[in-house]
Amino acid sequence: MDKKLSSILKRVEKPARYIGGEFNEVEPFEGAFNYCVCFPDVYEVGMSNLGIKIVNEAIMSVAGAYADRCFAPWPDFGKELKEAGVELYALGNKKPLKTFDMLGFSLQYEMSYTNVLYMLDLAGIPLRREDRGDSFPIIQAGGPCACNPEPLADFIDIFIVGDGEESMKQLAELKIACLEKQEFLRRAAAEIPGAYVPALVDVKYGINGEIEGFSPDKRIEKALCRDLASAVYPKRFAVPTIEAVFDRGVLEVMRGCYRGCRFCQAGFLYRPVRERDAEDLVETAKSIMCTSGFDELSLNSLSTGDYSSLRELIPALKDALPNVNMALPSLRLDSFEGDFVQETRKSSITFAPEAGTQRLRDVINKDVSEEEIMRGVRQAFEQGYSTIKLYFMLGLPTETDEDLKGIRDIVFKIRDVYAARPNRLRSLKISVSVSTFIPKPFTPFQWERQASEQEVEAKIALLRKELHLRGVVLSWNDFALSEMEAVFARGDRRTGKVIEAAYRNGCIFDGWTHLFNAEKWYEAFRQTGVDPKAYTREWREDEVLPWDLIDVYVDKKFLLKERHAAYANAVTGSCLTGCKGCGLQKVYCPKKDELAAKKAANCKKEGE
Partner 1 sequence: MIAFKYSKTEGAEFISHLDTLRHLNKTFKRAGFEVKHSQGFHPHMLVYMSSPIGVGLKSYAEYCTVDVDISAEQFKEEFNRYSPKGIKCIESYAVEKNPNFASVITRAKYVISGLHGVNAEEVMAMQSFTVKDKHGEPKEVREKIYSFTETAEGHEVVLAAGNNALRPDAFVKRLAELYGEMDADIVKTESYVGEGDSVATALSDIG
Which residues of the shown chain bind ligand SF4 in the complex (CB under 6 A)?
271-272, 575, 579-582, 584-585, 589, 591-592
| Nearer of residues 128 and 598 to ligand SF4, judged by Cβ | 598
Q: Is 293 left (phi over 0), alpha (psi -120 to 50) or beta?
A: left
| Nearer of residues 157 and 306 to ligand SF4, judged by Cβ | 306
Interaction between residue 357 and partner 1 (CB under 8 A): no
Contact track, partner 1, 226-255, x by CB under 8 A: -------------x-xxx---x--------
Inter-residue long-range contacts of 365-369, CB under 8 Å, 24+ positions, other chains counted: 365/259, 365/260, 365/261, 365/262, 365/562, 365/565, 365/566, 365/571, 365/572, 365/573, 366/259, 366/261, 367/259, 367/571, 367/573, 367/574, 368/332, 368/333, 368/334
Q: For 405, which DSSP code?
A: H
Other C-beta atoms lying within 10 Å of the C-beta of residue 202: 11
> What CA–CA distance (Å, rounded) separates 400 from 356?
10
| Nearer of residues 388 and 579 to ligand SF4, judged by Cβ | 579
Cβ-contact 382, 419 below 8 angstroms: no
Give the list of residues 6+ apart from residue 446 with CB closer than 8 angstroms, or none. 439, 440, 490, 539, 545, 559
Interaction between residue 414 and partner 1 (CB under 8 A): no
Binding partner at 290 among ligand SF4, partner 1, none, C-beta below 5 to 8 Å by kind = partner 1
At CA 64, angle to CA 32 and CA 23, rounded to 5? 110
H-helix or E-strand containing 212? strand 211-215
Determine which residue in the list 23, 29, 412, 567 makes contact with partner 1, applying CB under 8 A: 23
Binding partner at 592 among partner 1, ligand SF4, none, C-beta below 5 to 8 Å by kind = ligand SF4
Determine which residue in the list 32, 176, 178, 290 makes contact with partner 1, applying CB under 8 A: 290
Interaction between residue 294 and partner 1 (CB under 8 A): yes
| Nearer of residues 114 and 443 to ligand SF4, judged by Cβ | 443
Interaction between residue 372 and partner 1 (CB under 8 A): no
* Residue 153 CB, nearest approach to ligand SF4 (Å): 29
* Residue 316 CB, nearest approach to partner 1 (Å): 21
Distances (CA, A) of 492 to 149, 151, 436: 8, 5, 21
Q: Where are the beta strands (DSSP E) in 437-480?
A: 472-476
Cβ-contact 157, 185 below 8 angstroms: yes
> What CA–CA distance (Å, rounded) separates 500 from 300?
34
Interaction between residue 19 and partner 1 (CB under 8 A): yes
> What CA–CA distance (Å, rounded) separates 494 from 511?
22
* Residue 418 CB, nearest approach to partner 1 (Å): 24
Interaction between residue 296 and partner 1 (CB under 8 A): no
Q: Where are the beta strands (DSSP E) in 229-308?
A: 249-252, 254-255, 274-275, 296-300
Determine which residue in the list 61, 99, 287, 291 makes contact with partner 1, applying CB under 8 A: 291
* Residue 290 CB, nearest approach to partner 1 (Å): 7
Distances (CA, A) of 504 to 69, 478, 500: 25, 22, 6
Interaction between residue 2 and partner 1 (CB under 8 A): no
How big is the site for partner 1, counted in residues (CB under 8 A)? 25
Interaction between residue 206 and partner 1 (CB under 8 A): no
Binding partner at 259 among partner 1, ligand SF4, none, C-beta below 5 to 8 Å by kind = none
Give the list of residues 6+ apart from residue 534 with CB closer than 8 angstroms, or none. 209
Binding partner at 291 among ligand SF4, partner 1, none, C-beta below 5 to 8 Å by kind = partner 1
Binding partner at 3 among partner 1, ligand SF4, none, C-beta below 5 to 8 Å by kind = partner 1
Binding partner at 462 among partner 1, ligand SF4, none, C-beta below 5 to 8 Å by kind = none
Interaction site with partner 1 (CB under 8 A): 1, 3, 6-7, 9-10, 14-16, 18-23, 239, 241-243, 247, 290-294
